[in-house]
Structure 1
């Protein structure tokens, strides 16, 4: 597996490359956004992205990478403010770790996002859900509102699919997190909230996903 490390701190870059190689990963390094976009290739399977880059805001680079590829993006940065996490997730990141972080946890997060990306089962071609002007094509991984496609990130679509499979039923947060992130770790609860907010904003349908306080979410309108 090849990890593209985008980091402008040489010492941290060297340490990350050495550790990931010992863990069995191939690595490609980039010190700025321009190098990262040049290094991004068909063999890239994970992007580990620092936000503090010299030539471009890391969130904007995240957005550009997401436009090119669906590979998992993990933001790793010293910026701990929640608004930075929200910006990164809305730009297409799949996960977020704050420096200083434990490298063993970083490897666990890499394993989690790649497991979801590589081994998520493909639904049957006939699995299309139509509810109140909303069509969710599980096979084609497409969401349409009144016939118009809505561009979602991979994680956002996975959330929609997890809810649309049970229209009208309240799906617990824990079940959504387990299905989308392949983990039982409650720390993804905030990420789930951010992604749901992004889905509502992109679709223009605040009623599409109903929050059931203290329990989870329901695919509404059914």
Structure 2
């Protein structure tokens, strides 16, 4: 019995193989990319798991191997886009002693850099957009980010006041003053459609905010606290 040469059969088999196969370890990111796209377009509630699977190029059954629910997808998005930045900032804050102003400057610069990233702006926008209709989104964001960041920043400001590095301000309210403009910037853009002529301009916002903030935190000239 004669057949085609082995090298020809091998070549035919190679042609039948998919030209591209995702690496298994890359698939969760593919799924999260698809989820973020659909949640941003359709909203969290209307989007279905099968829609996300289709967008990611996998079967409906396969998506559950990585994320058992839409809630798990949302948790994955927050942890991928926001939590690493928050954890890095928390480590920086916890290790600092002395004048808090350099840390505040670095913190706001880090946040601005994260917002400019692929998911950095999309995830906070999703939280703002969906929080009223899906309270668990706001709760999740609070638990993963806000409940960790606020106490750390409050402690940073308090020790700065105690050491005389900054003027005598209310630490808790000052933290709101520090982060408030960034949240308002996102809110104006997402809810009211108001943004600077040159786009989001997050870097200019942070620079402008820091100029005002640092002047306001400077110790009193007469040494009073």
TM (normalized to structure 2)?
0.26
Normalized per residue, the structure richer in strand is 1
Which structure is higher in RCO with an 8 Å CA cutoff and minimum separation 6? Answer: 2
TM (normalized to structure 1)?
0.26
